[in-house]
Amino acid sequence: MTRDEAWQLVTEWVQSPQLRKHLLAVEACMRYYAALYGEDAETWGLIGLLHDFDYERYPTIPDHPLQGERVLAELGVPEDIRYTICSHANALQERYPRRSLRDKVLYAVDELSGLVVATALVRPTRSIHDVDVKAVKKKMKDKRFAAGVNREDVVRGAEELGVDLDEHIGHVIKALQATAGPLGLEGTAVASDD
């Protein structure tokens, strides 16, 4: 499956602009980590782009991601890609344990990318370029902020990946900065009080 074919599938299945942006954010993070580890950025990016494509139709585990996995199998997507996508669901760990580096990265960036994006959106400039590790960690402590983000998954993701949480947050910020435009995170000019 090409990136264009994957995006076509996403636009067919996903109507929510926020979910589409989430898929783009996770794609960017997967590509960033693939480059960092010398892996195949195209394959890793496809995984990020497709990991939640079935969520609107099947929001309950195990239907998500298993219904999506079935669709991807019918489209000829290789088993190892489908496995990684299924491995990001904690409830499926007995059947799809995170074994590979790729599995662990997908899990590690999924929730964290949402927290980083939310942090950017509440900045006065609405820019990912104004976000740093300290700001994300401060927002992470506030359980009411981006309440849908599972903080335990964020911490566990960095642990499973074997990366310091601050370092991991920094990588995700950099990944999202590289794709700020499509995510709507380039920001706006803010009048100065000076």
Tokens of 145: 């902020």
pLDDT, average across residues 161-178: 98
Calculate the average pLDDT of the chain. 95
pLDDT of res. 115 = 97
Work out the pLDDT band at 187, boundaries 50, 70, 90: confident
What value does the CA radius of gyration of the chain take, rounded to a whole number of Å?
A: 16
Work out the pLDDT band at 191, boundaries 50, 70, 90: very low
Percent residues over pLDDT 90 in the chain: 96
Where do the domains of the chain lie? 3-182
pLDDT of res. 193 = 42
Q: Yes or no: say if 24 and 182 are a contact pair by the CB < 8 Å rule.
A: yes
pLDDT, average across residues 165-172: 98
124-147 pLDDT, tens per residue? 999 999 999 999 999 999 999 999
CA separation, residue 66 to residues 57, 58, 85, 95, 144 (Å): 12, 9, 9, 11, 30
Percent residues over pLDDT 70 in the chain: 97
Domain spanning 3-182, CATH architecture:
Orthogonal Bundle (1.10)
24-78 pLDDT, tens per residue? 999 999 999 999 999 999 999 999 999 999 999 999 999 999 999 999 999 999 9
